């Protein structure tokens, strides 16, 4: 602890002399392990500890949270090194996030907090009406979960809060996995109105928070192409593109997923949307189902492939791009002449150019040619932090095939 520390009682961590402090000053929110002096005092900090970050000249840069077990060793919480992280601090951040979503959406169904882009590093909050699901994916957020939830309830008025402590990010932070109902009550899956359809979100047992809000604008664009079309929705989860397409006037939709529980929720969503007579499901491995449909001679005017992240990190990039290429190769022959192919990626490591190139190669290897007519991204409730490329993970490419 140095004498000029802005916060008495808080430890100080310091950038190495050659580390780039300019990026931090210009809004980059992370410090990597090789950029920080990791002496014995720093190594002794418990994961999630608060500290004042200084540059190599001992000038304070802000208040950070430190986790020496993570490659992201420090995350910027507040540019004010004297900030106090309490319920009031959380309320200000959540209130600012809520103001944006209230302008964007008529009903309280959206991503309320999108981690660093909303000033809460490693924290995701999805809202389902009177229910909120919190993902504390960083150690500091786990430590402050009570203050976070208190502020969330005070600002939004939600009665029920679920902590979804699952996923790869928590493992990288050294956190255990658990899903817990923190307050309130639940009575089965939650109906979620979106793009003219009703989706069923299982916030306790489903994937991630129970529903993927990020694809909302891409669902809507695909639905514009779906009128009178036969639709194939691969990796449908709880109905994804299929229910939006049916709401947009599709003749029929076949939804494919490896998860039987997810398909059961999709079927319930089709019933709630009044489109069950035009909706069918098929359980199985996506690659195997695509090959089988090709052998059956199946054709669709609209085919959508929205797989999980094949390249969640750089070591998986090459294998992930090969998987995206294979998906495109198998899907392209299923598109009727003049029909549309939608290919999606939520991989952080695969940027737009790499994903587009892999998709184009796959379409060509599938014996088809096409026009790229639209490129989509996550909705505005998933804001992008310009200094952090990783926050712009979702890509959606729409091709019209000859």
Per-residue pLDDT, 20:
78
Q: Is the per-residue pLDDT at 254 higher than 90?
A: yes
Per-residue pLDDT, 8:
62
Return the percentage of the chain with pLDDT > 90, whole number: 87
Per-residue pLDDT, 205:
87
Query: What domains, with CATH codes, occur in the chain?
Result: 12-78 (2.30.130.10), 87-183 (3.30.750.80), 195-401 (3.40.50.150)
pLDDT averaged over every residue in the chain? 94
Higher pLDDT, 175 or 18: 175
Q: What is the pLDDT of residues 110-165, one digit of tens each?
A: 999 999 999 999 999 999 999 999 999 999 999 999 999 999 999 999 999 999 99
Per-residue pLDDT, 2:
42
Q: How far apart (Å, rounded) are the C-alpha atoms in residues 306 and 227? A: 20
6: pLDDT confidence band, cut at 50, 70 and 90?
Answer: low
Q: What are the beta bridge partners of residue 134?
A: 125, 163
Q: Is the per-residue pLDDT at 175 higher than 60?
A: yes
Q: How far apart (Å, rounded) are the C-alpha atoms in residues 395 and 61? A: 34
Per-residue pLDDT, 173:
85
Angle (CA) 342-346-349 rounded to 5° is 125
Strands 49-54 and 60-66, how do they pair?
Answer: antiparallel
Per-residue pLDDT, 174:
84
pTM for the structure as a whole: 0.94
267: pLDDT confidence band, cut at 50, 70 and 90?
Answer: very high
Average pLDDT estimate for 193-207:
94
Handedness of CA 367, 368, 374, 380 (dihedral sign): negative
Q: What is the pLDDT of residues 370-397, one digit of tens each?
A: 999 999 999 999 999 998 877 789 999 9
Q: Is the per-residue pLDDT at 293 higher than 50?
A: yes
Q: Is the per-residue pLDDT at 3 higher than 70?
A: no
Q: How far apart (Å, rounded) are the C-alpha atoms in residues 217 and 382? A: 11
Average pLDDT estimate for 64-74:
94
Q: What is the pLDDT of residues 334-366, one digit of tens each?
A: 999 999 999 999 998 999 999 999 999 999 999
Q: Is the per-residue pLDDT at 246 higher than 90?
A: yes
In 10 A of CB 23, how many CB atoms? 14
Residues 6+ apart with CB under 8 A from 382: 111, 114, 117, 213, 214, 394
């Amino acid at each position: 602890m140095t004498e000029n520390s802005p916060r008495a009682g808080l430890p100080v961590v310091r950038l190495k002399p050659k580390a780039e402090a300019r990026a931090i000053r210009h809004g980059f929110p992370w410090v990597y392990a090789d950029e920080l002096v990791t002496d014995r005092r720093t190594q002794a900090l418990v994961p999630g500890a608060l500290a004042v970050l200084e540059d190599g000249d001992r000038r304070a840069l802000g208040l950070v949270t430190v986790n020496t077990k993570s490659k992201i060793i420090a995350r910027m919480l507040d540019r004010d090194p004297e900030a106090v992280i309490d319920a009031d601090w959380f309320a200000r951040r959540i209130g600012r996030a809520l103001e944006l979503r209230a302008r964007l959406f008529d009903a309280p169904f959206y991503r309320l907090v999108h981690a660093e882009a909303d000033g809460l590093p490693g924290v995701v909050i999805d809202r389902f009406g009177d229910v909120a699901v919190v993902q504390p994916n960083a150690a500091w957020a786990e430590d402050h979960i009570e203050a976070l939830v208190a502020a969330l309830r005070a600002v939004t008025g939600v009665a029920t809060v679920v902590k979804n402590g699952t996923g790869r990010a928590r493992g990288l932070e050294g956190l255990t996995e658990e899903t817990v109902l923190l307050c309130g009550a639940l009575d089965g899956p939650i109906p979620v109105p979106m793009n003219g359809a009703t989706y069923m979100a299982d916030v306790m047992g489903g994937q991630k928070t129970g529903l993927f809000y990020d694809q909302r604008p891409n669902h809507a664009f695909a639905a514009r192409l779906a009128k009178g079309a036969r639709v194939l929705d691969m990796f449908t989860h709880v109905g994804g593109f299929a229910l939006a397409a049916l709401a947009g006037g599709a003749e029929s939709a076949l939804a494919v997923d490896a998860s039987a529980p997810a398909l059961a929720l999709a079927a319930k969503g089709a019933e709630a949307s009044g489109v069950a007579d035009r909706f069918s499901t098929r359980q199985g491995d996506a690659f195997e189902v695509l090959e089988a449909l090709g052998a059956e001679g199946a054709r669709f005017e609209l085919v959508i492939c929205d797989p999980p992240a094949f390249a969640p990190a750089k070591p998986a990039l090459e294998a992930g791009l090969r998987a995206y290429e294979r998906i495109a190769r198998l899907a392209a022959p299923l598109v009727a002449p003049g029909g549309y192919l939608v290919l999606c990626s939520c991989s952080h490591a695969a940027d737009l150019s790499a994903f587009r190139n892999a998709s184009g190669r796959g379409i060509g290897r599938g014996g088809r040619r096409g026009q790229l007519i639209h490129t989509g991204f996550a909705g505005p409730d998933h804001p992008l932090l310009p200094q952090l490329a990783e926050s712009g993970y979702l890509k959606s490419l729409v091709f019209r095939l000859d």
